[in-house]
């Protein structure tokens, strides 16, 4: 498929986009919601290439919200989009089949946003929504929250952009809480499977996590326990 306006997305956002839409049918009947839209590029790229019916962009700060609005107007999508200056999804009515992206926000920020959504959204609508999350930090806390709240992690991957490795998580709400092992919490259930399959980008991403956890284990008992669990898993396999 020919892709247009490829210059709009850096490698990280392209990877987020690709995971968000992968395996989804009926995009013409779905809306894309970009939380923390900043420049609005993800929505423009998606409206051009995927045929989403509509885009909703939210940003907590007035400057980025205005920037997003201006970008949508410049690309001729003023009638196919709405921009909200709001915290997360506050004030946005969710619809069945929405694809919601949160990229470049901290994991704790995402948890706050998701927690409020779960409280107010219609459970049937919530179950039909696909979430694509690219947390800048606190991915362990985010995964723990997803598991405890009943969001199934249906995919995870790593991507590399200018020498930095990023995590992307795709989730859907099932309403059924579950438990993650410590290694799943800190590395990610799907990341661990991709590591076992020796996927090159994931191996590099995991190598960096290993280094980070080796350092932080000194002052963190949970990470020490997790690394023991990881060593045991490796010995068994």
Give the interface with ligand SAM as residue ranges (CB under 6 A): 13, 35-36, 38, 58-61, 64, 87-88, 103-105, 109, 113
Which residue, 13 or 71, has its beta carbon nearer to ligand SAM?
A: 13
Q: Is 35 helix (H, G, I), strand (E, B) or coil?
A: strand
- With the CA atoms of 163, 165, 170 and 171 taken in that order, what torsion angle do they form, in degrees rounded to the nearest 10? -150
CB nearer to ligand SAM: give 103 or 223: 103
Residue 66 CA to residue 36 CA, distance in Å, equals 12
Q: In whole angstroms, how close is the CB of 182 to ligand SAM at the nearest point?
A: 28
Least Å from the CB of residue 60 to ligand SAM? 4
Min separation Cβ 125 and ligand SAM, Å: 20
Q: Which of 82, 74, 142, 61 is nearest to 108 (CA)?
A: 142
> Looking at beta carbons only, is 58 or 183 nearer to ligand SAM?
58
What's the CA angle centered on 103, arms 100 and 109, to 5 degrees?
90
Which of 42/227 has CB closer to ligand SAM? Answer: 42
In whole angstroms, the minimum distance from the beta carbon of 159 to ligand SAM comes to 12
């Amino acid at each position: 498929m020919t892709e247009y306006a490829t210059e709009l997305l850096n490698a990280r956002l392209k990877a987020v986009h690709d995971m968000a839409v992968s395996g989804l049918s009926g995009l013409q009947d779905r809306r894309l919601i970009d939380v923390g839209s900043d420049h609005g590029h993800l929505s423009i790229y998606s409206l051009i290439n995927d045929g989403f019916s509509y885009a909703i962009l939210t940003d907590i700060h007035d400057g980025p919200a205005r920037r997003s609005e201006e970008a949508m107007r410049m690309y001729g999508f003023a009638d196919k989009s709405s921009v909200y200056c709001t915290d997360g999804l506050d004030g946005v009515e969710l619809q069945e089949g929405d694809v919601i992206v949160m990229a470049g926000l901290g994991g704790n920020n995402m948890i706050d946003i998701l927690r409020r959504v779960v409280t107010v959204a219609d459970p049937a609508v919530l179950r039909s929504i696909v979430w694509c999350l690219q947390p800048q930090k606190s991915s362990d806390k985010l995964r723990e929250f997803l598991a405890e709240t009943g969001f199934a992690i249906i995919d995870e991957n790593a991507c590399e952009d200018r020498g930095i490795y990023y995590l992307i998580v795709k989730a859907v709400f099932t309403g059924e809480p579950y438990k993650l092992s410590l290694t799943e919490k800190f590395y990610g259930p799907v990341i661990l499977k991709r590591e076992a399959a020796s996927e090159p980008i994931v191996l590099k991403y995991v190598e960096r996590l290993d280094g980070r956890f080796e350092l932080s284990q000194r002052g963190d008992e949970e990470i020490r326990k997790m690394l023991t669990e990881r060593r045991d898993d490796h010995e068994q396999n």
